[in-house]
């Protein structure tokens, strides 16, 4: 049997690890190179819709996800002041039956642990910070700060919004501050037992702000994200400490349930939301990108990590069974299949920023009427294009 090609993945986050598992499953010799000396994720929740959970189940992670995750029964969009329901879209058993895979709420660290535990230890290399990258035409050569030099058939940049691979392959560029910052935190569920919270993803929409909360880690924790608009920001970080009192002040006058959640939090972090405009291309020669390295998006569709998981599955399908001489062509095919979909989701996420934050008035009333009609992005009939997608299938116009 012919040995598969070799791929070096730079970045050991959710996208990089999922890509490595998909590539190994496809017979590709994939290795992950992560700059940190230990794998870690921020304490925050993540939503995994069926278009990604079907991939994770194929990778053998169903048992771990079921043990640590939560399957919400609905997505509940509500008005900021009185809590009135604007749209309640079913999830749970109906989504799983309709699309053949479940919808999960997870702690990001639990998902990362599940991915890392499935990856053979010899395929994960920690403490490797990329410094140079050379495409020799018939191979790639990557050098790391610790002196390691590796030669492979292809390099994949899964190294996030500050991607070194992107900079080395495409040149420098700067992210765009979206005018939003998010307070995020985790609250022990027993502190909020008196609220009788449903097992749903609740999105509260109001003038210039929105608030999201849902259970993670087997309903033991409540994850919240409180998004506010502001004019400027100087840092991109998930780990800047925020002040609970500032978050409470920002949501003063909103439904009391939200202040109850904030007051029950021991700490909060503030996270500026940055994005990048869709790229014209992701691949050059034997180098390509995935996840936030090429399509960083606002979290208002819950698809950032999900799309990186799709990227990895599609990349593996494109590279399965090929020879080294076919790498350039296969990476271009991956780009043709993935770039339009990811770019569309970037645009939808940007549009949701406007929709979520409308001031009370005619535009808000019109939005609410449309939501009540069941034709918006998260209603079941409108979301099929997203949830039913199977990234392992190599099909697109002209394919």
Which tokens in the block code for residue 42? 């921020």
Annotated catalytic residue 104: no
How far apart are alpha carbons 186 and 392 in whole angstroms?
Answer: 34
Provide the strand spans (E) within 170-286: 176-188, 200-206, 209-216, 221-229, 240-241, 269-275
Dihedral over Cα of 368, 369, 370, 373: its sign:
positive
Burial class (CB in 10 A: 0-12, 13-18, 19+), 85: exposed
Annotated catalytic residue within 183, 214, 334, 387: 214
Q: Tell me which DSSP letter residue 364 carries.
A: H
339 torsion bin: left (phi>0), alpha (psi -120 to 50), beta (else): alpha
How far apart are alpha carbons 13 and 316 in whole angstroms?
Answer: 17
Contact 344, 193 (CB under 8 A): no
Alpha carbon separation from 50 to 88, 112, 268, 316 (Å, rounded): 18, 18, 29, 19
Residues with active-site annotation: 214
């Amino acid at each position: 049997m012919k040995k598969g090609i070799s791929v070096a993945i730079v970045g050991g986050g959710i996208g990089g690890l999922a890509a490595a598992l998909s590539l190994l499953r496809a017979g590709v010799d994939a290795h992950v190179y992560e700059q940190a000396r230990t794998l870690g994720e921020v304490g925050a929740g993540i939503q995994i819709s069926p278009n990604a959970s079907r991939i994770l189940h194929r990778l053998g992670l169903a048992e771990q996800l079921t043990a640590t995750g939560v399957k919400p029964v609905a997505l509940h969009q509500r008005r900021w002041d009185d809590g009135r329901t604007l749209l309640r879209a079913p999830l749970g058993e109906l989504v799983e039956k309709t699309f053949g895979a479940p919808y999960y709420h997870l702690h990001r660290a639990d998902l990362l642990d599940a991915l890392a535990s499935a990856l053979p230890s010899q395929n994960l290399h920690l403490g490797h910070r990329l410094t140079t990258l050379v495409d020799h035409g018939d191979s790639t050569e990557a050098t790391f700060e610790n002196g390691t030099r590796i030669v492979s058939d292809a390099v994949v940049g899964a190294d996030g919004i500050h991607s070194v691979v992107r900079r080395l392959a495409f040149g420098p560029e700067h992210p765009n501050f979206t005018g939003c910052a998010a307070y995020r935190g985790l609250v022990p569920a027993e502190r909020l037992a008196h609220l009788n919270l449903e097992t749903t993803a609740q999105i509260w929409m109001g003038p210039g702000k929105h608030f999201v909360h849902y259970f993670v880690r087997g309903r033991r924790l409540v994850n919240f994200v409180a998004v506010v608009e502001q004019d400027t920001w100087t840092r991109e970080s998930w780990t800047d400490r925020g002040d609970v009192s500032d978050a409470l002040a920002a949501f003063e006058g909103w439904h009391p349930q939200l202040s109850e959640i904030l007051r029950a939090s021991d700490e909060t972090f503030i996270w500026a939301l940055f994005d990048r405009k869709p790229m014209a291309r992701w691949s050059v020669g034997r180098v390509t990108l995935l996840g936030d390295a090429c399509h960083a998006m606002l979290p208002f569709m819950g698809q950032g990590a999900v799309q990186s998981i799709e990227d990895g599955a599609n990349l593996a399908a494109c590279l399965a069974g090929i020879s080294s001489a076919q790498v350039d062509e296969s990476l271009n095919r991956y780009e043709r299949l993935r770039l339009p979909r990811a770019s569309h989701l970037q645009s939808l996420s940007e549009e949701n920023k406007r929709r979520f934050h409308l001031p009370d008035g005619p535009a808000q009333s019109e939005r609410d009427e449309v939501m009540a009609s069941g034709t918006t992005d998260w209603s079941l009939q409108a979301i099929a294009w997203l949830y039913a997608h199977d990234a392992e299938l190599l099909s697109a116009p002209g394919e």
